[in-house]
Amino acid sequence: MRAYVTGMTPDDSTALEHRRRRLLFRATHRGTKECDLMIGGFVAARMTTLGHAEMDALEAVMELQDTDLTDWLTGRVPIPPEADSPMLREILAFVAGGGTHR
C-alpha cells in the first residue's frame, strides 16, 4: 500500500501512511453508527489518495457534531453556510452516490 510521491522520502511516505491510518480509525469510531458508516466509508474509499491538505480539510469536517453531520449527509437538513466546505460537499456526493468514489 505504500506509494512514493515524487519528492517524498521514505520517512515522509511512512508519516503520510500513518496519518491516513489514524484518520481512518477516527472516522470509523466517531460515536454514532451512522457517521461511522458515512464518514468512515468515505475515508476508506479515498484513503490511498488523501494528501495532507485533504486530510486537514477532512479533520475539520470531523470536528463537527455527529448529529449535524448525519442530518446534513442524509439530506434531512441543508448544510448551513457556516459549515459548508468543499470537503463536506465531497462527502455528501459520496454518500448520495451510494458510497462510490471518484
Digitized pLDDT (tens) for each residue of the chain, 102 residues in all: 344 445 556 667 888 889 999 999 999 998 899 999 999 999 999 999 988 899 999 999 999 999 999 999 999 999 999 999 999 999 999 999 987 655
Is 45 a member of any domain? Answer: yes
Is 102 a member of any domain? Answer: no
Split into its structural domains, the chain has a count of 1
Cite the DSSP H helix spans in 1-102. Answer: 10-28, 33-46, 52-62, 66-73, 86-96
What pTM value is reported for the model? Answer: 0.82
Is 101 a member of any domain? Answer: no
Is 1 a member of any domain? Answer: no
Q: Look up the CATH number of the domain holding residue 57.
A: 1.10.150.250
Domain range enclosing 31: 10-96
Is 80 a member of any domain? Answer: yes
For residue 6, give the DSSP letter: T
